[in-house]
Each structure stands twice: as C-alpha cells, then as structure tokens.
Amino acid sequence: MRKITTLFWDIGGVVLTNGWDYPLRKRAAQKFGFDSDEFEAKHTESEEAFETWKINLDEYLKRTLFFQARPFNKEEFKTFMFSLCEPHPYTIEIVQQLAYSRRYLMVAINNESLELNLYRIEKFHLRDYFTSFLSSCFLNVRKPSREIYDKALQITQRNPAECILIDDRKQNLEPAQALDIATIHYENSDQLHRELQLKLEV
C-alpha cells in the first residue's frame, strides 16, 4: 500500500461544475441568441490561449463573440458566464474533511482561464481547502500535457508514488499514471468516497 501524502484535485467537473465547457457555451448561445456553431469554431481557435493566459477574458470575447455588434454587451455576458458556476456539495464535504484532517497536501490542478479561476476560488472559498492552485492559467500549460504534472511534482517537491490525482476526464489521468501517480476517475461523490477510503485506508 502506498503512503499517500498529496492529493491533486481537478476542480471543474469534480469539486465544482465545469467553468466553461460545451453545454455551458450552448446555454449561452440559446440565452443570447447567437450562432452556436460559429461561436464553437472561434472558441476552439482561442481555447488554449484563453486557458493558458496568453489572452484575457476580454480578448477571448472579442475574438469569439464581439468581433461584430451584438444586442448585449460584454459585462452582461460575463455576468452570465460567472453565474453558471455551482458547487458539487457532497464532493466539497469530502474535500473539507480531508483538508481539515491536515494529513494531506491538498493541491488544485485544473484547466481554466484566469478570470473564471480567480472568481471560483473566491466565490467557493477554495483557499480554505487547497494549499496551492496549479491552474493552466498560472503555469501556462494545460492537462493532459505531461508538462503540467511534471511542474506539479516539482512545485510540491513530492515523489509521484506519494500522490493521487482525482479527475473526471480519463485523458487527464493517463499522463499522470505514466509518471506513477495514482489516479481516481471521478464519477460521483459516493464513488469518490469509496475509492479514497481504499487508497487512503480511512
């Protein structure tokens, strides 16, 4: 049995709802009445730059949506984007219990744009639970690139065998497994709790 000291947590899709994934972008298109397919094509062109802070939210919106006049403004759209963020309350309970036990280094590792990331950290009090936020917008690299996991291990100064990565996307788990980081593919809070009990002997 491994001696686990460090838990790497994905945020969107595990601790909180996803910040700006396809279903949310689709909802935005329906609410504001713009062409979803056109927006998706422009989003794909800008996604990596947006999530690695090569462009900020204003520039992203200019490239994807406000390259032409709209019957709504950027501030209205931003407010809607931020309003879509919700917690997964039972997962947050698990995170809280583990954080307050002080037995593990709790680290967030997620793909997210700067403005959404900072909003979600503040809104959901994530600093209460996580020591570090190794987000794509801070490290300028995204999952599933191996580089983000290498950086995570370097920053935390942990041996891979001491770590578990929890993520809802299998493609994000594979590079971590190649580095000998244990993984949990998140499906729901009950399943997560069971797997953590087995891996942490709690």
Verify that 66 and 153 share a domain, yes or no. no
Verify that 172 and 135 share a domain, yes or no. yes
pLDDT tens string, the chain, 202 residues long: the values are 689 999 999 999 999 999 999 999 999 999 999 999 999 999 999 999 999 999 999 999 999 999 999 999 999 999 999 999 999 999 999 999 999 999 999 999 999 999 999 999 999 999 999 999 999 999 999 999 999 999 999 999 999 999 999 999 999 999 999 999 999 999 999 999 999 999 997 5
Verify that 36 and 117 share a domain, yes or no. no
Cα–Cα distance, 68 to 124 (Å, whole number): 34
Verify that 106 and 190 share a domain, yes or no. yes
- Of 177, 139, 144, which Cα lies nearest the Cα of 156? 139
pTM of the entire predicted model? 0.95
Verify that 65 and 130 share a domain, yes or no. no
Q: How many residues does the chain have?
A: 202
Tokens of 168: 């809802």
Verify that 127 and 174 share a domain, yes or no. yes
- The sign of the torsion formed by the CA atoms of 38, 74, 120, 134 equals positive
Range of the domain at 132: 6-18+86-200
Q: Which pairs with CB-CB distance under 8 Å and at least 24 residues apart come from 24-33?
A: 24/81, 24/84, 27/84, 28/77, 28/80, 28/81, 31/80, 32/70, 32/72, 32/77, 32/80, 33/71
We report the CATH number of the domain holding residue 132 as 3.40.50.1000
- The sign of the torsion formed by the CA atoms of 122, 107, 192, 147 equals positive
Verify that 126 and 192 share a domain, yes or no. yes
Q: Which residues pair with 87 in a beta bridge?
A: 16
Number of independent structural domains in the chain: 2
Verify that 150 and 101 share a domain, yes or no. yes
Cα–Cα distance, 184 to 169 (Å, whole number): 10
For residue 50, tell me if it sits in a domain.
yes
For residue 126, tell me if it sits in a domain.
yes
For residue 1, tell me if it sits in a domain.
no
R_g of the chain, CA atoms, integer Å: 18
